[in-house]
Amino acid sequence: MIAIDPAARANVTLIDHPLVQHKLTLMRKKEASTSSFRRLLNELAGLMIYEVCRDMPLQDVQVETPLETMTGKVIDGKKLVFASVLRAGNGILDGVLSVVPGARVGHVGLYRDPKTLQAVEYYFKMPSNMEERDVVVVDPMLATGNSAAAAVTRLKACNPKSIKFLCLLTCPEGINTMYREHPDVRIFTAAIDRELNDHGYIMPGLGDAGDRIFGTQ
């Protein structure tokens, strides 16, 4: 079993709220239907994005309550981009957008070569003016870390203000890879599982997230 680099582990936020852990356990069950898996993922994404956005900057605005004028604080959701790593990342989008509906959405199309386990890009589309925006990359699984690192490398070419990575599950190999390639990118996850198997799947994991989201098993 591979150990996690202590510096890399310090770069990971484990979201261990009881509701997050409860829903993740239900998703892990092999008998969970496509519809229940998709619903639970949507709910989990909505819960987890609260932690990801904890340090988002706020700005003052004047509002009229029914009683008087006051100064309140708001975020500028339009400055936030959710970058979905296709295809499984799209399963997270509805949940995070339900909490931050003003966010922009970008897509990074990558597939993992089954022989080399390396990422191959086939699509990339981001909003304009990325240098003004904070990016949250969303992908249910951070396994080998190769696809995630490739997606972040591609995004950095757009010069965003910051990049974070949100996933349901990860493992020592994925954490170490991401830290080695991008030590400035913080990982947010609901679980750090034991290891990868010989096929690059997280163990004990929950299977292929994309297949379970879209019913293509």
Active site residues: 112, 116, 208, 211
3-state SS, residue 76: coil
Report whether 201 contacts 178 (CB < 8 A).
no
Contacts of range 12-16, beta carbons closer than 8 Å, 24 or more positions apart? 12/170, 12/175, 12/186, 12/187, 12/188, 12/189, 12/192, 13/51, 13/186, 13/187, 13/188, 13/189, 14/189, 14/190, 14/191, 14/192, 15/47, 15/48, 15/51, 15/188, 15/189, 15/190, 16/190
Spatial separation of the C-alpha atoms in residues 121 and 184, rounded to whole Å:
22
Contacts of range 21-30, beta carbons closer than 8 Å, 24 or more positions apart? 21/190, 21/191, 23/47, 24/168, 24/169, 24/190, 24/191, 27/168, 27/206, 28/204, 28/205, 28/206, 30/207
